[in-house]
Amino acid sequence: MRVVYFGTSAFAVPPLEALLSDGGVDVPLVVTQPDRVRGRGGKVLPTPVKAAALARMRDNGKSGRDGLRVLEPERIRGNEAFFAELAAAAPDLIVVASYGQILPREVLELPRLGCVNIHASLLPKYRGASPIRQAILDGEEETGVTLMVMGEGLDDGDMIARTAARVGDLDAGALTERLAAAGAALLLEALPSLEDGTALRVPQEESLATYAPKTTKEDARLDWSAPAEAVVRRVRAMAPEPGAWTLAGDVRVRVLGAHIGERAAAQGNPGTVFAVSDEGVFVLAGDGAVVLDVIGVPGKRPMRVAEFLRGNAFPAGRLE
């Protein structure tokens, strides 16, 4: 079976690697987003999916027409040159995971077995761009992965298979790894039924649908008037990237790890820093207190508070 793969983020890497390791699958083409400035170093870097594909090409000693190819169209809608290359790959099936662009009808209708998407939620809950972060923000105890048939709507196609996973106290990075592995396994299990046309298709219950919008920089800002539990969830939802943040005076402090602490007899408005020690930075929240465990300031890498304090003073001022 010839499978073309569309993916971009780290979530999409394990399913791609699973396909590339499956002897019954030929992956002639991977489609991903173009190289861009990524991370905090200001460097132009490939997407995680492109990096994984290039690593496989190096390992196999193949590229171009002799093996796997990678395309990075800036846009796919109305892109005739891209569509011609996609059609030339003659896919039986297209698999999509965290790609970042909506597939137009001509792409959806190209493969004889259709297009399927690996979505990081238990659909119909958390359709949209940020299902993992939203599940953490909402305090979900459980989320999961859904393999679904793609249509022109937003994550509203029939479900082929689902698998659940416990959220626990994982941050978004760790939960992404867990769900990506689950998605890879789900895809491999479904491939035989997709190939022979026996895959079950279960319609989603529209009345249960919810939406997880794309995260903005302002979404990562900590609101100290919120309950301590909500502040900690936001830290987890934004870690490791883009990282939750707050202002101490005019210093932007990134917060990559935090836990609920004891308020004790501390007095003050939300955002008041009432203790700083190797145990962390203790901050009043809307109720209770939050202890910052891992922080970063401009010009320095994120580190645990005990390490940070060896050569730095925590910025003065109430956090806002």
Query: In terms of domains, do 168 and 207 share one?
Result: yes
- 320 in any annotated domain: no
Task: With 0.85 as the threshold, say if the pTM is over it.
Answer: yes
- 104 in any annotated domain: yes
Show the domain range for 286.
218-308
- 285 in any annotated domain: yes
CATH number of the structural domain spanning residue 177:
3.40.50.170
CATH number of the structural domain spanning residue 283:
3.10.25.10
Give the separation between CA 263 and CA 227, rounded to whole angstroms: 12
Using one digit for the tens of pLDDT, what is the confidence trace for 156-206? 999 999 999 999 999 999 999 999 999 999 999 999 999 999 999 999 999
Query: In terms of domains, do 84 and 161 share one?
Result: yes
Query: In terms of domains, do 20 and 52 share one?
Result: yes
End-of-domain residue from the set 161, 181, 212:
212
Query: In terms of domains, do 74 and 202 share one?
Result: yes
- 315 in any annotated domain: no
Query: In terms of domains, do 146 and 59 share one?
Result: yes
End-of-domain residue from the set 189, 212, 235:
212
Query: In terms of domains, do 151 and 274 share one?
Result: no
Confidence at residue 64, expressed as pLDDT on a 0 to 100 scale: 46
Using one digit for the tens of pLDDT, what is the confidence trace for 247-301? 999 999 999 999 999 887 788 999 999 999 999 999 999 999 999 999 999 989 9
Residue carrying structure tokens 């891209």: 82
Query: In terms of domains, do 199 and 223 share one?
Result: no
Query: In terms of domains, do 207 and 243 share one?
Result: no
Confidence at residue 40, expressed as pLDDT on a 0 to 100 scale: 65
Query: In terms of domains, do 130 and 175 share one?
Result: yes
Q: Which of 238, 237, 255 is nearest to 246 (CA)?
A: 255
- 316 in any annotated domain: no
- 313 in any annotated domain: no
Give the separation between CA 244 and CA 253, rounded to whole angstroms: 8
Query: In terms of domains, do 296 and 179 share one?
Result: no
Strand 244-248 vs strand 127-128: parallel, antiparallel, or unpaired?
A: unpaired
Query: In terms of domains, do 81 and 197 share one?
Result: yes
End-of-domain residue from the set 212, 243, 264:
212
What radius of gyration, in Å, describes the C-alpha atoms of the chain?
22
Q: Which of 300, 273, 275 is nearest to 285 (CA)?
A: 273
Q: For the stretch 194-208, what's the b/e string if a residue is b when 16 or more beta carbons lie within 10 angstroms of its beta carbon? A: bbeeebeeeebeeee
Mean pLDDT of all residues in 96-123? 97
Percentage of the residues of the chain whose pLDDT score is greater than 90 = 88
Query: In terms of domains, do 56 and 185 share one?
Result: yes
Using one digit for the tens of pLDDT, what is the confidence trace for 77-96? 999 999 999 999 999 999 99
Question: What is the count of structural domains for the chain?
Answer: 2
